Amino acid sequence: ETGVTQTPRHLVMGMTNKKSLKCEQHLGHNAMYWYKQSAKKPLELMFVYSLEERVENNSVPSRFSPECPNSSHLFLHLHTLQPEDSALYLCASSQDLPGQWTNYGYTFGSGTRLTVV
Amino acid sequence: KNEVEQSPQNLTAQEGEFITINCSYSVGISALHWLQQHPGGGIVSLFMLSSGKKKHGRLIATINIQEKHSSLHITASHPRDSAVYICAVFNFGNEKLTFGTGTRLTIIP
């Protein structure tokens, strides 16, 4: 356990379903991130929250909707996904705020393996 | 062309061999991370460095800022080292973390 917990670990959903991914950290970190990892591709940054405020949205389709109700929790709400959205979704947190040179690095969760059928 | 390139993409070695994984980048950076991703998907941060060399157990990471190159070495490799090793750089220009595609390492007993 790294300090960042993601649930569920695996998720299979139909294209018409609505589901949510959850990420939780109790490390006292200030920033939280959603990344997408597709096969044979680098991790892609999707969303960044700093002090519970969204600071970045990397042109992610609106069928992905993030929510950060407090500094310890981050959600990714999913609806009407496409099969190409099947991937590993990783949550990460960092103590430093985005844009600051970091001395502390990032802590990643174990990811949610999403399959869209 | 990716801003972060890793080589090799795949590496298979016998237990006990000395392993080297390379990372080259094309942008100005503040820091470089080496990450380890196990088959289950979880990612662990191994090193973060901005100059010189760091060592942790059997793992050694070096960086040459002038040449924009970093290496990750594993001494006395073991099957439990089998994982994907990912290089990521904190881009000084756009203040973003950019990842390489990873090197899949398999250590055979």
Residues facing residue A113 across a β-bridge: A10, A88
The per-residue pLDDT for A24 is: 97
Q: How many residues does chain A have?
A: 117
Q: Average pLDDT, stretch A45-70? A: 88
In this structure, what are the phi and psi dihedrals at residue B15, rounded to the nearest 5 degrees? -55, 135
Q: Average pLDDT, stretch A47-51? A: 87
Pairwise CB contact (< 8 Å): A101 & B30: yes
Rounded to an integer, what distance in angstroms lies between the CA atom of residue A66 and that of residue A56?
Answer: 11
Q: What is the pLDDT along chain B (109 residues), one digit of tens a residue?
A: 678 999 999 999 999 999 999 999 998 888 899 999 988 778 888 988 889 999 999 999 999 999 999 999 999 999 999 999 999 998 777 767 889 999 999 999 9
Cα dihedral angle (B3, B63, B60, A111), rounded to 10 degrees?
-30
Q: Tell me which residue in B41, B101, B102 faces A111 most closely, judged by beta carbons.
A: B41
Pairwise CB contact (< 8 Å): B88 & A98: no
Strand A44-50 to B19-25 pairing: unpaired
Rounded to an integer, what distance in angstroms lies between the CA atom of residue A84 and that of residue A87?
Answer: 8
Task: Give the three-state DSSP class for B80.
Answer: helix
**CA A80 to the chain's CA centroid:** 18
Q: Average pLDDT, stretch A33-58? A: 87
Say if residue A61 is preceded by a cis peptide, omega within 30 of 0: no
Written as one letter, the residue type at A90 is: L
A73: closest CA of chain B, how far (Å): 18
Which of A5, A41, A106, A112 to probe the B interface (max B CBs under 10 A)?
A106
The pLDDT tens digits of the residues spanning A91-117 come to: 999 886 655 545 557 889 999 999 999
Please check the confidence at residue A23 and state whether its pLDDT lies above 60.
Answer: yes
A92: nearest CA in chain B? B43
The per-residue pLDDT for A98 is: 59
SS (H, E, C) chain A: CCCEEEECCEEEECCCCEEEEEEEECCCCCEEEEEEECCCCCCEEEEEEECCEEEEECCCCCCEEEEEEECCEEEEEEECCCHHHCEEEEEEEECCCCCCCCCCCEEECCCEEEEEC
HSE, CB side, 13 Å, CA atoms: give it for residue B4. Answer: 28
- Whether B17 contacts B73, CB under 8 Å: no
The per-residue pLDDT for A101 is: 46
HSE, CB side, 13 Å, CA atoms: give it for residue B57. Answer: 7
